């Protein structure tokens, strides 16, 4: 991939002193790159060594200079891996990688709260990236750009940031496909492989900015995986251990991930967790609930989100929830809420 300029034009003696010393990149960012290169079957260790990076001593909260990262990008480009690097990183990324950023991203209460946490975490992960939210009447623009104009961030770094944020959104709100209505990229990032990452229209501009556009109507969508979720807030209040909370959230996550499955039952979930049905029943009893109640609660939350979005027909929503027909879904919804899906809309 052709970067904005080559490494030498990014770094000059006047910029290196003192700016390069101030602008630091957390070691965990480099570890993501290292694993992504391995996924591309690129000799990651030799690439890092060529850039002067000791892989064995990479640690979170330890920083390397911007110049080192630019040299690393140059080495990756020499192996033909720069185009796919943002995509590869997004593919292997998991939320727990951000555990040292001072905020728990996965515990965001809603989409709006997630945006705030992402902005905060970015200042800890990569000091050169600026992420800000511009709120308009219908949409909120999450804008990723360089924090320091004189040292414009390499476009690959901004592409990585964009792909990572998109991954966070899709991981935490997997059923709200209309949440991001548009992605706007710099013209120099125009390529098919990058466009395929996003499930929405793509636009291009000449500015060195990368933008995710959110629908304001969906910003209050609750994060059902958060410990602030109504379904598990009583566990937090009761002082349950982290292990107990993890078991409960794992059960909920598996229900949500497989909610369109027609035969979704306790046997199915027990198999996914590699435990017996009796063990799973005992675990749920400790949380003062049972599988039927938990399944109903999650189906209802998902149904409400889809009905509020007004993008799918009742028949489509029925299939998304694992019902065989719109009529069976309507009967269940009325039993849950006291009103029909059509009246709720």
Q: What's the pLDDT band for 13 if we cut at 50, 70, 90? A: very low
Which of 218, 245, 261 is the last residue in one of the domains? 218
- Please state, rounded to an integer, the average pLDDT across all residues of the chain: 82
Over residues 146-165, the pLDDT tens digits come to 887 766 788 999 999 999 99
Q: How far apart are the first and last CA of the chain?
A: 47
Task: Calculate the alpha carbon distances from 287 to 116, 224, 269 in Å.
Answer: 31, 17, 16
Over residues 245-278, the pLDDT tens digits come to 778 878 888 888 888 888 899 999 999 888 899 9
Over residues 221-242, the pLDDT tens digits come to 877 666 555 555 555 555 566 6
Q: Is residue 16 located within the same domain as residue 156?
A: yes
In the predicted structure, residue 12 carries a pLDDT above the cut 60: no
* Burial (0-12, 13-18, 19+ Cβ within 10 Å), 154: buried
Long-range contacts of 228-231 (CB under 8 A, 24+ apart): 228/107, 228/109, 231/294, 231/297, 231/298
Q: What is the pLDDT averaged over residues 316-333? A: 89
Range from 18-27, 168-177, 218-227, 290-299 carrying the lowest mean pLDDT: 18-27
Q: Is residue 156 located within the same domain as residue 273?
A: no
In the predicted structure, residue 11 carries a pLDDT above the cut 60: no
Which is more confident, 4 or 183?
183
In the predicted structure, residue 216 carries a pLDDT above the cut 70: yes
In the predicted structure, residue 21 carries a pLDDT above the cut 80: no
Q: Is residue 186 located within the same domain as residue 283?
A: no
Over residues 297-323, the pLDDT tens digits come to 888 888 887 887 777 889 988 888 888
**What's 82's domain CATH number?**
3.90.1520
In the predicted structure, residue 60 carries a pLDDT above the cut 70: no
Cα(266)–Cα(281) distance, rounded to whole angstroms?
8
How high is the pLDDT of residue 148? 74
Q: Is residue 302 located within the same domain as residue 196?
A: no
Asked, for residue 110, whether it belongs to a domain, the answer is yes
Q: Is residue 168 located within the same domain as residue 201?
A: yes
How high is the pLDDT of residue 16? 39
Asked, for residue 268, whether it belongs to a domain, the answer is yes
**What's 296's domain CATH number?**
1.10.10.60
Q: Is the separation of the CB atoms in 109 and 222 below 8 Å?
A: yes
Q: Is residue 172 located within the same domain as residue 214?
A: yes
Domain span at 162: 7-218
Question: Helix H segments across the chain?
Answer: 7-10, 13-15, 21-22, 27-39, 44-50, 66-78, 85-92, 111-125, 155-172, 192-195, 230-237, 242-257, 266-273, 277-286, 291-309, 314-320, 326-337, 341-344
Tokens read off for 60: 């979170």
Q: Is residue 184 located within the same domain as residue 69?
A: yes
Range from 16-20, 126-130, 187-191, 202-206 carrying the lowest mean pLDDT: 16-20
Q: What's the pLDDT band for 128 if we cut at 50, 70, 90? A: confident
In the predicted structure, residue 18 carries a pLDDT above the cut 60: no
Which of 155, 184, 218 is the last residue in one of the domains? 218
How high is the pLDDT of residue 238? 57
pTM given for the model:
0.64
Asked, for residue 1, whether it belongs to a domain, the answer is no
Q: Is residue 237 located within the same domain as residue 214?
A: no
Count Cβ neighbours within 10 Å for each residue of 101-138 and write b for 16 or more, e otherwise: bebebbbbbbbbbbbebbeebbebbbbbbbbeeeeeee
Q: Is residue 203 located within the same domain as residue 167?
A: yes
The DSSP bridge pattern shows strands 139-146 and 129-135 to be antiparallel
Which of 218, 250, 269 is the last residue in one of the domains? 218
Cα(254)–Cα(233) distance, rounded to whole angstroms?
19
Q: Is residue 176 located within the same domain as residue 269?
A: no
How high is the pLDDT of residue 209? 94
Q: Percent of the chain having pLDDT more than 70?
A: 84
């Amino acid at each position: 991939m052709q970067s904005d300029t080559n490494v030498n034009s990014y770094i000059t003696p006047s910029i290196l002193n003192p700016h390069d010393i101030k602008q630091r990149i957390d070691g965990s960012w480099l570890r993501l790159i290292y694993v992504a290169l391995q996924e591309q079957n690129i000799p990651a260790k030799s690439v890092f060594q060529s850039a002067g990076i000791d892989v064995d001593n990479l640690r979170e909260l330890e920083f390397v200079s911007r110049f080192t990262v630019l040299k690393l990008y140059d080495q990756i480009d020499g192996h033909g891996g720069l185009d796919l690097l943002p995509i590869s990183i997004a593919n292997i990324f998991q939320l727990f990688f951000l555990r040292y950023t001072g905020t728990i991203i996965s515990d965001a209460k809603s989409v709006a709260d997630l945006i705030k946490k992402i902005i905060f975490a970015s200042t800890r992960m990569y000091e050169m990236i600026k992420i800000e939210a511009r709120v308009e009447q219908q949409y909120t623009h999450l804008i990723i750009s360089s924090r320091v104009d004189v040292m414009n961030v390499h476009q690959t770094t901004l592409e990585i940031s964009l792909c990572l944020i998109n991954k966070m959104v899709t991981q935490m709100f997997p059923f709200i496909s209309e949440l991001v209505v548009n992605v706007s990229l710099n013209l120099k990032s125009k390529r098919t492989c990058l466009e395929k990452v996003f499930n929405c229209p793509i636009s291009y501009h000449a500015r060195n900015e990368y933008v995710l556009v959110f629908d304001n109507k969906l910003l209050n969508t609750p994060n059902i995986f958060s410990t602030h979720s109504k379904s598990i807030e009583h566990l937090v209040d009761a002082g349950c251990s982290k292990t107990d909370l993890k078991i409960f959230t794992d059960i909920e996550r598996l229900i949500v991930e497989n909610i369109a499955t027609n035969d979704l039952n306790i046997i199915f979930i027990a198999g996914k967790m590699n435990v017996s049905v009796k063990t799973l029943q005992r675990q749920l009893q400790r949380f003062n609930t049972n599988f039927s109640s938990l399944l109903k609660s999650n189906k209802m939350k998902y149904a409400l989100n889809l009905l509020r979005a007004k993008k799918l027909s009742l028949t489509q929503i029925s299939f998304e929830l694992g019902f065989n027909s719109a009529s069976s879904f309507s009967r269940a919804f009325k039993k849950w809420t006291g009103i029909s899906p059509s009246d709720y809309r």
